[in-house]
Amino acid sequence: MGSLKIENVKKAFGPVEVLKGINLEVTDGEFVVFVGPSGCGKSTLLRVIAGLEDSTSGRVVIDGQDVSATPPAKRGIAMVFQTYALYPHLTVKNNMGLGLKQAGTPAAEIDRRIGIASSMLSLEPYLERRPAELSGGQRQRVAIGRAVVREPKLFLFDEPLSNLDAALRVNTRLEIAQLHRRLKATMIYVTHDQVEAMTLADKIVVLNAGRIEQIGGPMELYNSPANEFVAGFIGSPK
Ligand code: ADP
Ligand code: MG
C-alpha cells in the first residue's frame, strides 16, 4: 500500500508563501511526476511529504492516516536526492544498510535486502567500494539502492538525474522505470525535464509559483494543456 493525499498544504518561509494550497491524490502504485520551473516549490513539497519540513497548514495523509505529526523515519517513505547524499567513509554496502541497522533490523535481513537491491541495480561488484571510487551513475544507483532496501510504501525522487551526463541519464531513467514495474511501489518524481516527465509518468502535476496549474496524464497534458504555462512546459505549441 502507498496511497497519498495532500490536503490544502501551505508552506511559508518567514513572510514568503512557497506552497499556496496544494491538493493532490496519488493512488497506490502510481508514478507521479512533479514538473515546474526552478523555485516553484517542487522540493519543498517533497520535503513536506517526507516530513523533513513541516507544512504551515494542511494535511499529509498516507494510506488513510494523517502523518502530519509523524517523524520522517516512521512514514514509510524513502527519498533519493540529486546530490546522492552518501556517506563518504562508508562502503556501498554499509551506505545501503545503515538506515536499517539504525532501525534495529537483524544483520541477516539487512544482507538479504542488500543482495536483492544490488542485483536489481547491478551493484554487486561495487559493494565493498567507497563512494569516491564510483562514477556518478553508480553513486546514484547506490542512493536508489539505499531507498529500495527500506522497502518503502512511497519513493520520493528529487531530480535524481540532474547531475548525470546525457547517456547516463537515459540509462538511469530506464532503471527507475524498471524498478517501478518490479516493485509496484508508489513513486513521486521531481524533474524539470519534459522527456523524463513524459516517459516516466502515469500522471504529471504541473506546478507554478506554489500552485498546481494542471494534473493529468502525459498525453492529456500534451494534447489539452489548460493554459499557456502548461503548454510551454509540456503541451504541443498553440
Ligand atoms: P524547486 O525545487 O521547485 O526549485 P524549492 O522548493 O527548492 O523549489 O524552493 C521554493 C522556494 O522556497 C524558493 O524561492 C526557495 O528559495 C525557497 N526556499 C526553499 N527552502 C527554503 C528555506 N529552508 N528557507 C527559506 N526559503 C526557502
Ligand atoms: Mg528543487
Atom of ligand 1 nearest to the CA of 44: 6
Which of 10, 11, 17, 18 to mutate for ligand 1's pocket (most ligand atoms within 8 Å of CB)? Answer: 18
Q: What digits encode the pLDDT tens for the residues 186-227? A: 999 999 888 899 999 999 999 999 999 999 999 999 999 999
**Ligand found nearest the CA of 157:** 2
Rounded to whole angstroms, the Cα distance separating 150 from 170 reads 25
- The answer to whether the CB of 191 is under 6 A from ligand 1 is no
CA-closest residue to ligand 1 atom 23: 13
Helix, strand or coil, per DSSP, at residue 178? helix
Full-model pTM? 0.94
**Ligand 1 centroid – CA 44 distance (Å):** 6
Atom of ligand 1 nearest to the CA of 13: 25
**Ligand 1 centroid – CA 40 distance (Å):** 8
pLDDT at 235: 62
Q: What digits encode the pLDDT tens for the residues 9-64? A: 999 999 999 999 999 999 999 999 999 999 999 999 999 999 999 999 999 999 99
- The answer to whether the CB of 13 is under 6 A from ligand 1 is yes
For cell 536526492, what's the residue?
Answer: 81
Contact 214, 221 (CB under 8 A): yes
- What DSSP designation does 41 have? S
Q: What digits encode the pLDDT tens for the residues 120-146? A: 999 999 999 999 999 999 999 999 999
133 C-beta neighbours (distance < 10 Å), count: 12
What is the C-alpha radius of gyration for the chain, rounded to an integer number of angstroms?
18
Strand ranges across the sheet with 65-66: 16-26, 4-13, 57-62, 65-66
Contact 45, 205 (CB under 8 A): no
- The answer to whether the CB of 106 is under 6 A from ligand 1 is no
